[in-house]
Amino acid sequence: MNTEVIDEAIDKYVHERMEQGKKKASERFLAYVYLKHGGDDLLEFMKKVGGLSRYYIDFLKVMENPFKGPEVAWLASMLTIAVYACILMASEESRLLGICLFSGTLANGWFLISALAKKWCDTGVMIAIYREIVEIIEKEAESKA
């Protein structure tokens, strides 16, 4: 079975969940699955959707850690520039340059913190949505078995 079809079913649930809520998304997801893959391959399709959703959950758990992405390099660069800016501020003739560098570092630091917070929230929401898909699949598979 093609993974694009499985991804399409998952994407439909995710978009519907964000727009209409859990109950409506669940109903539409199950309707889509039954209409598109009703019959012999229904349980196989549901197992594959559940497996791919579990894979996405594991992947997002790894990506949720900010020290696994480019944020670490950005943080290290900002700390290095902040230290250099403090050294420049200690000298009378380069104080203005140090102040400008330090203020830029603070602004970038605030942006990094905001980006990390948004990333954690978005990733947490996606993990919760993928868990809902797994729960729907497991409940439906139990009722079919």
The domain tally of the chain equals 1
Kindly report, residue by residue over 58-83, the tens digit of the pLDDT.
888 877 776 677 888 888 899 999 99
- The pLDDT of residue 12 is 87
Structure confidence by residue, pLDDT tens digits, 102-132: 999 999 989 988 888 888 888 888 999 999 9
**Whole-model pTM?**
0.73
CA–CA distance from 98 to each of 35, 103, 108, 109, 111 (Å)? 65, 8, 15, 16, 20
Label residue 127 exposed, middle or buried (CB < 10 Å: 0-12, 13-18, 19+): middle
Give phi and psi for 100, each to the nearest 5: -65, -45
Decide: 48 and 1 in contact? Cβ < 8 Å.
Answer: yes
pLDDT of 95 reads 94
In this prediction, residue 96 carries a pLDDT of 95
Range of the domain at 9: 3-144
